[in-house]
Structure 1
């Protein structure tokens, strides 16, 4: 029978170890580590993400219970104090850079979005992670609350977080969006929280397209009307010019598309600078923005980014960036295995089989485990009889009963 390493070890092999060690040397602070390593830290924190461990003590105990299998992971046992010190003092920028490498690895395998146009499509949004202000005083958000905010630009090719930054809870969504740098001809879709006419104009001059919702009180003048197919839910397709108080910040022609959702009856007014796509396609592009909300929901429900194993800013950032690395590892595994299972199904399978010696791809494809002999000819098997007493089944002492 072919030998298989543990499922956890096979998952970690998707990450080039030599690249990790190079990044670890570049993002090191202080004296040389003697009793542990950044790789052991990453293995422990990845285990916390995949297995849902609740505390540092829980993580260390879990690793201790699997100490015989740590050699194949390339890691060593870590103590609770060492892991806490690494999380608090060693720069989280290592895992930020590692996420960038994994993102590039995923993009080479990611499937295209489902639209017929060839432009790259990104959705922008942000999500707040609440923190207890008394435990995380550095994360002041409101008078009695703390928070950090995840700003994400989701690439619809594979639904990957192509642009991600973590700020304090007070940072406005548009502030992080202004730092976005995307290839020319990309399409960026966002909600009304990103309304900034000057930024729209800058995107246009950079050769980018945007799709958003028009504010209800926006002032504009219609310069051209085009026929629409009302059977598709469209109500209007217009060329407009802004003429409000801040119209001078965006002195270009824009396109306003009216759409009524046949399921809910709600009316939407979309704003874009793309005149080449059909009006119905623009509406579908904005509908696809819902994928970024599903991304935030998935990562909060399945990975540990709401409860933290450390209280310092660096420890929180380390845990969040490792969660992003785990998401990208799972996405890459999904791409290379070419299975129809969702990421949620994949992570559930991994949680139940992390330290099992099974072929990883066979596990994901639903192949049953290979049959193995649980007993040897000279080793009896223990079973329970109907009366609840333990019975050894062996041809030499089949009648012996243990009370």
Structure 2
């Protein structure tokens, strides 16, 4: 990296500008645009994400404060509040969606690892709800006086990268999003008990994919066969068939039921799975690792700016979410390529204060800087990338 470049410009070098340009041309994103192109818009939005700007006006003021650096940062020469607002409202969100998926694929390929050694990929699927003001975001009506959107996410537990995301109004039931998951035969899918939809689970079984789901307390079933010798804390490991009318009709085949006692929480958990060959403790371990997607949601809400949106239209909200995911994947790629020993949280903290500095990014992100930073700030934030 050239030491005279701004830190943000060095980060941008990890983006594939040609790929983004191809996507823009495909959707005619720059048609009739003389200044402030889609590329400029993406960089401005990512800059706002990484330096944690709280509003569109706040972002425009931050860009204005660095007006003399705009060309070298990739912002162009016409970054104004009105232009940015108009671009977020009118430009096709599919441009940013497609590029976000490209970044997801690139980050996953770099961070690919066979942690569970199960012969297939391991995913967790869940959603997070972002509350919105009903008076402003009327298109996202949730309840009588409340609005919101849901981000349904398929999270790769081995690479720690969100592989698929589906954005809906908050009123959409979580199980409906199971219909749009791009299932892969031989892969494992981990669900919480809100996804006890046996018709959809049976569909996963029929395409030769595997699932683990936490069962509800009112499950009606009868044991067909069971194991007598079980590992510690496994209270029951049996093959069952459903006896409830609708559950039996929707899932007509036998399914495995595992009951586990968690000593730390002093609670009993019941799991259902179609993975008959796995050890019972492996099934429990898969579900325990589902917590990684909750950490991702927490990390994204705290450190990428999606809690307060920079626009009121559905198009603007989608563009901001996709730019947040692109920023997340960019940081993950930089973390991998520069072989950082720090956590993503620590990287983000240093970068947020240094985007317009002329420092070599390798020197900026070296271990000694993070040790000093932790001593000053007392950071104990869990790392999503620590295995």
**CA distance 1:2–1:207, shift in 2 (3 Å):** closer
TM-score normalized with structure 1 length: 0.87
Q: What secondary structure, in the 3-state scheme, does the structure 2 residue paired with 1:308 have? A: coil
Per the alignment, residue 135 of structure 2 pairs with 134
The alpha-carbon deviation at position 228 of structure 1 amounts to 4.0
Distance in 2, matches of 1:273 and 1:339, equals 39
Per the alignment, residue 67 of structure 2 pairs with 67
Distance in 2, matches of 1:104 and 1:31, equals 28
Per the alignment, residue 384 of structure 1 pairs with none
Q: Please give the per-residue CA displacement for 1:209-232, whole angstroms capped at 9, x wherever unaligned.
A: 00011221111110111134453x
Per the alignment, residue 155 of structure 1 pairs with 156
Per the alignment, residue 257 of structure 1 pairs with 258
Deviates more, 1:162-171 or 1:330-339: 330-339
Per the alignment, residue 58 of structure 2 pairs with 58
Deviates more, 1:176-185 or 1:30-39: 30-39
Matched, 1:26 2:26: yes
Q: Please give the per-residue CA displacement for 1:172-205, whole angstroms capped at 9, x wherever unaligned.
A: 1111111112221100000111111111111111
The alpha-carbon deviation at position 40 of structure 1 amounts to 1.3
The alpha-carbon deviation at position 56 of structure 1 amounts to 2.4
Q: Which structure is larger by alpha-carbon Rg, 1 or 2?
A: 1
Distance in 2, matches of 1:330 and 1:135, equals 32
The alpha-carbon deviation at position 2 of structure 1 amounts to 6.3
Deviates more, 1:179-188 or 1:28-37: 28-37
Which runs of 4 or more aligned residues in structure 1 lie more than 6 Å from their structure 2 counterparts after TM superposition? none
Per the alignment, residue 217 of structure 2 pairs with 216
**CA distance 1:262–1:38, shift in 2 (3 Å):** same
Question: For residues 202-351 of structure 1, what are the structure 2 equivalents within 5 Å?
Answer: 202-231=203-232, 233-246=233-246, 247-351=248-352
TM-score normalized with structure 2 length: 0.91
Per the alignment, residue 376 of structure 1 pairs with none
| Paired residue total | 367
Q: Give the structure, 1 or 2, with the largest relative contact order (CA under 8 Å, sep 6 or more).
A: 2
**CA distance 1:344–1:3, shift in 2 (3 Å):** closer
Distance in 1, matches of 2:144 and 2:342, equals 44
- In 1, are the aligned partners of 2:7 and 2:356 still within 8 Å (CA)? yes
Distance in 2, matches of 1:161 and 1:2, equals 31
Question: For residues 115-194 of structure 1, what are the structure 2 equivalents within 5 Å?
Answer: 115-194=116-195
Flag structure 1 segments of 5+ consecutive residues without an equivalent: 369-403
- In 2, are the aligned partners of 1:228 and 1:236 still within 8 Å (CA)? no
Q: What secondary structure, in the 3-state scheme, does the structure 2 residue paired with 1:40 have? A: helix
Q: What secondary structure, in the 3-state scheme, does the structure 2 residue paired with 1:70 have? A: helix
The structure with the greater share of residues assigned to helix is: 2
Distance in 1, matches of 2:223 and 2:2, equals 71
Flag structure 2 segments of 5+ consecutive residues without an equivalent: 370-387
The alpha-carbon deviation at position 367 of structure 1 amounts to 5.8
Please report the RMSD computed on the Cα atoms of aligned residues, expressed in angstroms.
1.7
